[in-house]
């Protein structure tokens, strides 16, 4: 397992989650050790975002599995149009959420 060391504060992080919380995901994000009092809140925010991405990934996987099951069981003759359209709508919401997750969050411009 890789080990991450911050050359600003010399702290060592043994896992990806802790390193991501300290350094951020993008290269233009400051490490929390350089953010003073706001560093603690920034770290909490980064951890929450990571958990949210995990939940979204699991939900998308579940939608794919359920859609596959419905398609297998329904076949072309069963009237499951409303069920399929509901799952398509859910998939669209999850896709929109995922694409929005990659956009900057309002108020998250480093101020």
Answer whether residue 107 is part of any domain.
Answer: no
Number of domains in the chain: 1
Of 70, 62, 23, the C-alpha closest to 42 is 23
> Is 90 exceeded by the pLDDT of residue 45?
yes
> Is 60 exceeded by the pLDDT of residue 8?
yes
Answer whether residue 109 is part of any domain.
Answer: no
The fraction of the chain above a pLDDT of 70, given in percent, is: 74
> Is 70 exceeded by the pLDDT of residue 99?
no
Structural domain range at position 65 = 4-101
Residue that wins the pLDDT comparison between 103 and 21: 21
> Is 80 exceeded by the pLDDT of residue 88?
no
> Is 90 exceeded by the pLDDT of residue 104?
no
Answer whether residue 48 is part of any domain.
Answer: yes
The fraction of the chain above a pLDDT of 90, given in percent, is: 31
Residue 12 CA neighbour count, 13 Å, CB half: 4
């Amino acid at each position: 397992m890789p080990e991450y060391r911050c050359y600003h504060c010399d702290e060592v992080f043994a896992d990806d989650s802790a390193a991501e919380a300290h350094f951020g995901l993008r290269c233009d994000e400051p490490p929390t050790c350089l953010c003073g009092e706001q560093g603690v809140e920034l770290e909490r925010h980064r951890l929450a975002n990571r958990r949210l991405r995990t939940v979204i990934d699991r939900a998308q996987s579940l939608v794919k599995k359920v859609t596959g099951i419905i398609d297998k069981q329904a076949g072309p003759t069963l009237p499951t149009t409303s069920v399929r359209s509901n799952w398509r709508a859910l998939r669209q919401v999850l896709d929109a959420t995922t694409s929005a997750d990659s956009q900057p969050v309002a108020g998250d411009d480093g101020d």
